Chains A and B, each alone.
Chain A
Amino acid sequence: MVQLRPRASRVPPSAMVDEGQPASEEEEEAEHGLLLGQPSSGAAAEPLEEDDEEGDDEFDDEAPEELTFASAQAEAREEERRVRESVRRDKTLLKEKRKRREELFIEQKKRKLLPDNILEKLTAAGQTNIKKSSGKLKEANLQKENEDCDKGSDSKKAKVQKVQSVGQNKSYLALRLKDQDLRDSRQQAAKAFIQNSLYGPGTNRTTVNKFLSLENKRLPVKKAAAQFLNNAWGTQKKQNAKRYKRDLFPS
């Protein structure tokens, strides 16, 4: 009787674990950890249960409720375990399914790609091209190829590698346009950074005209400004006038 209390208090945590259905895989992982931890606590509890059963055999009529409670509890545990097991099985099945699908995707991607031998040749050709000195005909053709590739980037096919001729003649270099775009955008970002940090707001820059006029201001004989006309003046007015003219005299 006295031993029952701690057991009763031990039950709720495992029940609590069971109640919370894991949503994500991470939680699932956590639950696995808990489940793995369970057997040890279960093993600690088992001898106690056996003791109880022995006691129950001795006094059959006296406390049937208690006996049913213990067995019911055991049953419940069994039930619990079964449910948990099935959940686990479902999950592993689902996992396997996902894995299979992923494999399928990879295989499909591979099927879309070029054959291995061509790819190998491509990488080899790329390396040799780098090795070659720049001032060669290849370079010229390479340039052409680059331009071609740039033009082709509009079309949807551009995603796929464009290979015109690979192998012995090596007159072309295959480039992945995705990489080139990434590189260009990075270069743009880097240039923007340097422009912003040198000439951006807060850098205290003046204009060339003002800079040149500093000397001029202190000269005994004043000269005209280096940039005498400022084309930025009255742009709005000029535009308005243009629009007015166009509206008034549509040609």
Chain B
Amino acid sequence: MRLCSVFCHSSFPEYFSSGMGEFKVHRVRFFNYVPSGIRCVAYNNQSNRLAVSRTDGTVEIYNLSANYFQEKFFPGHESRATEALCWAKGQRLFSGGLNGEIIEYDLQALNIKYAMDAFGGPIWSMAVSPCGSQLLVGCEDGSVKLFQITPDKIQFERNFDRQKSRILSLSWHPSGTHIAAGSIDYISVFDVKSGSAVHKMLVDRQYMGVSKRKCIIWGVAFLSDGTVISVDSAGKVQFWDSATGTLVKNHLIANADVQSIAVSDQEDSFVVGTAEGTVFHFQLVSVTSNSSEKQWVRTKPFQHHTHDVRAVAHSPTALISGGTDTHLVIRPLMEKVEVKNYDAALRKITFPHRRLISCSKKRHLLLFQFAHHLELWRLGSTVATGKNGDTLPLSKDADHLLHLKTKGPENIICSCISPCGSWIAYSTTSRFFLYRLNYEHDNISLQRVSKMPAFLRSALQILFSEDSTKLFVASNQGSLHIIRLLEGSFKHLHTFQPQSGTVESMCLLAVSPDGNWLAASGTSAGVHVYNIKHLKLHCTVPAYNFPVTALAIAPSTNNLVIAHSDQQVFEYSIPDKQYTEWSRTIQKQGFHYLWLQRDTPITHISFHPKRPMHILLHDAYMFCIIDKSLPLPNDKTLLYNPLPPTNESDVIRRRTAHAFKISKIYKPLLFMDLLDERTLVAVERPLDDIIAQLPPPIKKKKFGT
């Protein structure tokens, strides 16, 4: 524990008027969050999902059909530096890392099914056979190991001929008879049956440059016509004939490393990513307009990244890339997109689609969650007043109260501070921690609540009740625990077991302010509503096609507001067990097309204590107050009303006024909530601040600088 009064940025209270009354806004920019860089990307054609692994060992699953929503994630681990990621048989996900272990993930229960040592030192590369029954692993000691994928595990089958140096890349021939393995300075082609190297193709260390560094083969791809494409650290993309072991063609595309390659299923295009941040698209095109002879041509460069592109993937309709600059970029290919709608637009995903911040309204505290620590800040305050748009001077600066480091190498999954500010809970994959905070004037003291019950090991979501007397924990076995908090101790009240036959874990929780209702939602099935007084399941909101991104229960009415990844918002009355009239109306009329085209999910919903008709919600790029009493906008009305109608006549204002009051002042917005009736807190994370903390990029000469 550390008591600290140092602060980097200040919290700027300023006035903000949304046409819904004026708010004082704490504009918080001291959340020093840096997402970790993307290391691997694996696209699953069958379920249209994308697995992304980051340098801290986190693995995330994005559902590309559900508006690119990050529906699942597996928390990282310090020693688990994932270097390879692949899907097998459509539904199974494997990863290999520098600790030498092959890990299979349980996509239902959201934990690790098993970890198996490959006994070859750190694992650099992995590839699943085209038929999906065998797994190849390339290791540090130069061995290529073949594993058989059995229904519930993997089993070592045999080693291929050992090579001199580490195997950094692997690729199967689509027929499954040969593999190509990229090492340092050479590529080997193996015969799968005999396990011996058929060809060894030496790669030139330098092409045009003067570098005498070793040439690292960062990626290989084996095409069905026997061509092996390699990308290497000298900046070359080379085409080899695997039958003769000779170099066919050479493209020098970068002054720096070419770090990744992915080929489309039709083998008519492939994509490579370079350390300069450029992604190149190569296509197989006819040499002349009507000849059958085809040639690989570099067609399009894309510069969506500033840093190294460590991983690329090729879906049937899009190029996917990710790298050290932490962005996941999905670039649809215009020629492959059938309908030119908003789905054809570029997507850039930077921030996690879940909340990392929780807030204690009573004490004006913010709890920030990082990979390995938590930070507790007290917001500053001001006595000054001003008009709309003014920045107010701080009379008291924001305070860094607490820096809480986790024990052990595991990343934090979730964290929460109680509304009264006297409890903090967080969880890693194996342990659950609960702390009691005591405030004495300016000092705070922290006391760990020991002897947590055995069933509280790992939580996917933690929530405190409004009066801070109850703790709700969604564990990864699908059960929900209710714990009563007493002064410095606790008592287990009840556990809602998952319905039989489901193993799906709950990822989102919401509790009603009166403490009677608890809503919980998993990744795909509907939202369950529990009655806390009677400790039983009250009802289940009908399942919707798209995953839930945020949940909240309104104060007096006990209406459950649900936001889905396709940007639909539903309101469901818990006492009546049906959708509300407003929800039916908006579903009938449909949301504004611009509302549906937003590309970040709603991550937080809250309510105004005095205005029951208002719903406050936000995504990464906007903050919105929905006034249910006003008419809904249709596609002809202006959705975004940037200026509050102050100088217009009342008639026009009334005509243009609609239910959605949207503000885009604060972005990228990670968290926004109402502290009291007249005060908002907005936590921003400017992208420049993130870039300033990333590893150094490649030097590029820019004209005129």
Asked if B692 contacts A226 (CB within 8 A), the reply is: yes
Contact A190 B122 (CB under 8 A): yes
B255 within 8 A of A: yes
A191: B residues at CB distance < 8 A: 81, 98
Q: Which of B257, B477, B688, B695 contacts A212 (CB under 8 A)?
A: B688
Shortest beta-carbon distance, A249 to chain B, in Å? 28
Q: Is A153 an interface residue (CB 8 A)?
A: no
Contact assessment for A218 and B705 in the assembled complex, using a CB-CB cutoff below 8 Å: yes
Q: Which residues of A have CB within 8 Å of B113? A: 133
Q: Enumerate A173-200 residues with CB–CB distance to B below 8 Å.
A: 183, 186-187, 189-191, 193, 197-199
Instruction: Knowing A187-B122, A199-B695, A203-B256, say if A214 contacts B457 (CB, 8 Å).
Output: no
Q: When chains A and B are docked, how far (Å) is the Cα of A189 from the Cα of B99?
A: 11
Q: Is the CB of B692 within 8 A of A208?
A: yes
Most chain B beta-carbon contacts within 10 A, residue among A193, A202, A218, A226 = A193
Whole-angstrom distance between the Cβ of A119 and the nearest chain B Cβ: 19
Within residues 688 to 705 of chain B, which ones have a CB less than 8 A from any CB in chain A?
Answer: 688, 691-700, 702, 704-705
Known A135-B476, A186-B122, A190-B122: A208·B109 in contact at CB below 8 Å: no
Q: How far is the CA of A215 from the CA of B65 in the complex (A)?
A: 36
Q: Is B306 an interface residue (CB 8 A)?
A: yes
User: In the complex, which of the residues B306, B308, B457 contacts A136, with contact meaning CB atoms closer than 8 Å?
Assistant: B457
Most B CB contacts (10 A, CB to CB) among A147, A183, A191 go to: A183
> A156-184 toward B: CB 8 Å interface, digit per residue (1/0)?
00000000000000000000000000010
Interface CB pairs A-B, < 8 A, 16: A130-B116, A131-B114, A135-B457, A139-B457, A143-B430, A187-B98, A190-B98, A190-B122, A191-B81, A198-B275, A199-B696, A202-B211, A204-B698, A212-B691, A217-B705, A227-B692
Among residues of A, the one whose C-beta sits closest to the C-beta of B216 is: A197
Contact B114 A130 (CB under 8 A): yes
User: Smallest CB-CB separation from B310: which chain A residue?
Assistant: A198
Does the CB pair B457–A208 fall under 8 Å? Answer: no
The answer on a CB contact under 8 Å between A134 and B408 is no
B196 → chain A closest CB, angstroms: 26
A205-245 CB contacts (< 8 Å) to partner B: 205-212, 214, 217-218, 226-227
Chain B residues with CB under 8 Å of A137's CB are 454, 457
- Distance from A134 Cβ to chain B, minimum over Cβ atoms (Å): 4
Give the residues from 651 to 705 in chain B that come closer than 8 angstroms, CB to CB, to chain A.
688, 691-700, 702, 704-705
Q: Which of under 10, 10 to 19, 20 to 34, or 35 or more describes the interface residues of B?
A: 35 or more
CB-based contact A204/B255 at 8 Å: yes
Give A189 to B124 CA distance when docked, in angstroms.
Answer: 13
Chain B contacts to A: CB under 8 angstroms: 79, 81, 98-100, 106, 109, 111-116, 121-122, 124, 140, 166, 211, 213, 216, 233, 255-257, 275, 306, 308, 408, 429-431, 454, 457-458, 476-477, 688, 691-700, 702, 704-705
Cβ contacts under 8 Å, A4 to chain B: none
**For the complex, what is the distance from the CA of A208 to the CA of B692, rounded to whole Å?**
6
Among candidates B256, B430, B693, residue contacting A140 with C-beta atoms closer than 8 Å: B430
| New A-B pairs, 14, CB < 8 Å, besides A204-B698, A204-B699, A227-B692 | A133-B113, A143-B408, A186-B140, A187-B81, A187-B100, A203-B257, A205-B699, A206-B697, A206-B699, A207-B696, A212-B692, A214-B705, A218-B705, A226-B688
Q: B300: shortest Cβ distance to chain A, in Å?
A: 24
In the assembled complex, the Cα of A227 lies from the Cα of B113 at a distance in Å of 44
CB distance from A176 to the nearest CB of B (A): 12
User: Is B430 touching A186 in the complex (CB atoms < 8 A)?
Assistant: no
Nearest residue, chain A, Cβ from B121: A186
Closest to A225 in B: B692
In the complex, which residues of chain A have a beta carbon less than 8 angstroms from the beta carbon of B696? 199, 205-208, 211
Question: CA of A183 to CA of B118 in the docked complex: distance in angstroms?
Answer: 12
Interface SS of B by simple majority: loop
Task: Select from chain A the residue with minimum beta-carbon distance to B122.
Answer: A190
Instruction: Give B110's nearest chain A residue, CB to CB.
Output: A135
Q: Which of the residues A140, A209, A218 comes within 8 Å of B457, measured between beta carbons?
A: A140
- The answer to whether A183 touches B429 (Cβ under 8 A) is no
Nearest 8 pairs of A and B residues by beta carbon = A206-B699, A190-B122, A139-B430, A135-B458, A205-B696, A134-B112, A226-B692, A217-B705
Decide if A133 touches B106 in the complex (CB within 8 Å). Answer: yes
CB-based contact B256/A183 at 8 Å: no
A197 CA / B306 CA spacing, docked (Å): 19
Out of A143, A197, A218, A227, name the residue touching B704 (CB < 8 Å).
Answer: A218
The reply to whether B697 and A211 contact each other, CB–CB distance below 8 Å, is: yes
State the CA gap A207–B213 with chains docked (Å): 21
CB closest chain-B residue, reference A140: B430
In the bound complex, residues from chain A placing their C-beta under 8 Å from that of B430 are 134-136, 139-140, 143
A218 to B257, CA, bound (A): 27
A contact residues around B99 at 8 Å (CB): 183, 187
Most buried by B among A133, A140, A190, A197: A190
A218–B140 Cα distance when bound, in Å, is 45
The CA-CA distance from A130 to B117 in the complex, in Å, is: 10
Residues of A within 8 A of B100 (CB): 183, 186-187
In whole angstroms, how far apart are the Cα atoms of A137 and B705 in the complex?
59
Which residue of B has the minimal Cβ distance to A197? B216
Minimum distance in angstroms from A138 CB to a CB of chain B: 9
Residues of A within 8 A of B693 (CB): 208
Q: Which residues of A contact B256 (CB under 8 A)?
A: 203-204
B697 to A205, Cβ gap below 8 A?
yes
Nearest opposing residue in chain B for A139, CB measure? B430
- B700 cross-chain contacts in A, Cβ below 8 A: 206, 214
Of all chain A residues, which has the CB nearest B165?
A193
Min CB distance, B676 to chain A, in Å? 35
Residues of B within 8 Å of A136, CB to CB, are 430, 457
> From B454, which residue of chain A is reached at the shortest CB distance?
A137
With the chains together, A45 CA to B300 CA distance in Å? 86
Bound-state Cα–Cα, A210 to B696, Å: 9
Write the chain B residue with the least CB distance to A144. Answer: B408
A111 nearest CB across to chain B (Å): 29
Contact A197 B692, CB 8 Å, known A205-B698, A206-B699: no
Chain A residues, Cβ within 8 Å of B257: 197-198, 203
In the bound complex, how far is the Cα of B454 from the Cα of A137, in angstroms? Answer: 7
Contact A187 B79 (CB under 8 A): yes
Task: Give, as a whole number of angstroms, the nearest-CB distance from B115 to chain A.
Answer: 7
